[in-house]
Structure 1
Amino acid sequence: MSTDRIVVAGSSGLIGTALVSSLRADGIDVTTLVRRAPRDENEIEWQPDRLQLDPAALAGARAVVNLCGASIGKLPWTRGYRAQLASSRLRPTRTIAATLRSLGPDAPAFVSASAVGFYGDRPGERLTETSEAGDTFLATLSADWEHEALQAGPAARVALLRTAPLLHPRGVLKPLMLLTKLGVSGPLGRGDQVWPWITLEDEVRAIRHIINEGITGPVNLSGPEHAMANDIGRGLARRLRRPFFLPAPAWALRLGLGADAADSLLLSDAIVAPDVLLTTGFRFMHGTLDEALDAATP
């Protein structure tokens, strides 16, 4: 098999689809792991719920990228859905890690998804890749997720993608755009909480940078400019020519969405710095909030 082959799990999601398209556009051989019968030679079936993956699917690849996980944007987070959020991340990651471990020293690099939710709610604290995990539901889940990925070592080099919410019409902007178009957007909670963010284009470019540079350990995939929730909301409203005035108090968000989801997704405050990306030579295509919102709302 090609030594320039990349294996992608979770290729049907927003990031996975864009990553596969980007790699193939540059002539890179991509194998996708699917949970159904393969439709062509570029697909290989696996059953992560049963912890089943043929080692031959990964052997000889340059890297395995794991993007599996049920959407955190699906609300509310009922007890059953919280269990699904966990199992849809931990089981696939555990399956890939065990398979890579079985390949020994010839195992490909493992680039595994995580989230900036790892840090939890940390107002005023500059959070780098060396910062410890927070104590929210999403922080605990992200720490467990990373623990599973690290089990691929020492056979495989492991990189952990602590990804920020995507400023994209199908990412974090989807519900915000709907509310804004309806004319009912405004401050969420205090509104001054810092929201990490990244564009889809820079997310894909950063993943490829991590693979190409052989980076290991946690990597913050977050834009270099800090932005408050109100900055993002007002910027979006301005581009859509709609008002931004109707506040949603924190108590109402917790009541409507559930405390775990509201605190993890909308009310948490985290200044996440992309130190590893910047010190390894990565340059953002969209380095400011204005550039990111312009790209997301053409």
Structure 2
Amino acid sequence: MLDAAALHALNDLSLVARLIADGAQAGLHPSRRRGEGIEFSQYRPYQPGDDLRRLDWRLAARSDRYYLRESDVDTRLTARLLLDASASMNHLDAAGVSKLQYARLLLAGLAYIAHHQGDAVGLYALHHSGLQTVPPSADAGQLPRIYHALRQLSATGTFPATAVLAPLLARRGASVTIVVSDLYDVGPEHPSSPLAQLLRQLRAAGGEVLVLHLLARNEYDLDYPASAMLEDLETGQRLQLDVTQRATYQTQLQQWLRETEQTVRGYGLYYHRLFTDEVPAQALRQVLRGQLRSPV
């Protein structure tokens, strides 16, 4: 249950992923279902249309009743990890941990959990130069590939144009898509932004979609010295902090947070807000225990 600063200092993403996953003690989805398989689980009465090859003929001969043998079969899905790698994710909290660094820890833990459930997992980083992809796979080398991509990733520029995001919108089968972003371009004031359009279309492409809204506590509380100069990390615009306006800032921030959450949920997506000062394993446990199938 190490905090983000301590985990980042370990400088070993494979170890960190295992620590976070073990601490979270949860999975993305139920790991088994009833069906045709190898390991026997239970009998159920025959129903018209059932495959006769699955009938237990010996039991039928003894009891004059018809039962099918059912087995446990592993479910398989694709976990797609989408990371907003625009420059605003470089924002540092009071402990010196950036949103990007915190997202890296979370996604490494999620990748570990998905992979060890036998699911295919892939990584998609979205930044101004395009879409950086580690295609989904369940093979033994996938985790090192994802860890390497996360380590090498930097947050730069603005969110990519809509046309770049087309590969994310292809129809897909059983899947869960996890988006990590500070959602600055989502809400009623940005209905046509590339990120808003992506979120709107992800649900239509199929599968569950979980949006993790990542914030730093100091931007939430505006906890800076009175002489601080604030800078927009994507535009470079600067603004002298006026401490007398903290109450106004809080009012407007709370309104923006409500509207952003309503917008995401209105798309039919699951929404969860996280802060970078939360212990990653505890934060991930809350996320994975959430009602992914009840986004509204």
TM-score bracket for this pair, using the shorter chain length: 0.3 to 0.5
- After TM superposition, the score normalised by the length of structure 1 is 0.39
Rg larger for: 2
Higher strand share: 2
